[in-house]
Amino acid sequence: METRQLGTSDVKITPIIMGTWQAGKSMWVGIEDAETIKAIRAAFDVGITTVDTAEVYGNGHSEQIVAQALSDVRDRVTYASKVFANHLKYDQVIEACESSLQRLKTDYIDLYQIHWPSGAFKSEIVPIEETMSALNKLKEQGKIRAIGVSNFSPAQIAEALQYGRIDSLQPPYSLFWRQVETEAMPYCVQNNISILAYSSLAQGLLTGKFGPDRKLEEGDHRKNNKLFKGENYQRVQQALAQLRPIAERHQCTLAQLSLAWLIAQPQTNAIAGARHAEQASQNAKAAEVKLSDDELQEIDAIGRQVTDHLDNNPVMWDWDS
């Protein structure tokens, strides 16, 4: 698979990135470590050499699983991890990074990201200058190679940029969730910041496996996802029906079509998780699907049938419901 430059850094990433939130198990159901390890390894075997994880995914369990899957090929993979909103004081950032390095069994993390802005999830407010100071120190020490942010607004990115280089933004972004396009994407293009889209398959909706009557199990965090509720879910089903003929034209799956559309957007790369090896292999094939300008516009219009009815809140979940 081709690689792309991460922002202005010397880090190279694949346009399809292996996501490992599910590897942490917390907030997911039916996840088996052995299957996750096989999936991560399968992704590597078919050319997905960039893996995204975070300290908060299962309290570090995801990072440990990534290490089990890829330690023997560490020199050929790009690791991206994140520090959570409750660890943004100077000493906490340093300590969190050291812990992630140990769990990942590596001397350096290629991309280290602020997972959520200070204050998120009722965390203590920490000046971004203090957090960036710690990240810059880690970069000077060679423990991280690039700094990124996740779930930041353009204004928050601009403030962080006053204190150091930001090479990536990780927002929720898919054909069915597109708030990033309004302000953040133009800002990222202007400032040469790579977009690493998470929930790039709308948490599985864009695979087409969730039919009109599908019920989610208890413990599955998607029960709180706005796209899985009421009229939004009905619009999703209608849009999927219109996408299927395009996928059939390209002899690809709905997921591959959706990922191909996403990585054709400005500055955009897609994080896609997988429970099983076959899913990981199938995700990689999205990079081979070439869409014409007319097809990109057609898919764009289908997606808007869902997104035009959503509010401007960039958070995909109603956590309190």
- Active-site residues, by number, are 57
In whole angstroms, how far apart are CA 190 and each of 51, 177, 298? 26, 22, 26
Query: How far, in Å, CA of 297 to CA of 249, rounded?
Result: 16
Query: How far, in Å, CA of 24 to CA of 278, rounded?
Result: 19
Those residues whose C-beta lies under 8 Å from the C-beta of residue 238, and which sit 6 or more positions away, are: 305
Please say whether the beta carbons of 207 and 254 come within 8 A.
yes
Nearest to 105 by CA among 137, 149, 135, 73: 73
Q: Which residues of 164-195 are buried (b: 16+ CB within 10 A; e: fewer)?
A: ebbbbbbbbbbbbbbbbbeebbebbeebebbb
Query: How far, in Å, CA of 71 to CA of 51, rounded?
Result: 12
**Residue 75, Cβ density class (10 Å: 0-12 exposed, 13-18 middle, ≥19 buried):** exposed
Q: Which residue has the tokens 């004081």?
A: 89
Reported as half-sphere exposure (CB side, CA atoms, 13 A), residue 266 has a value of 15
Please say whether the beta carbons of 128 and 156 come within 8 A.
yes
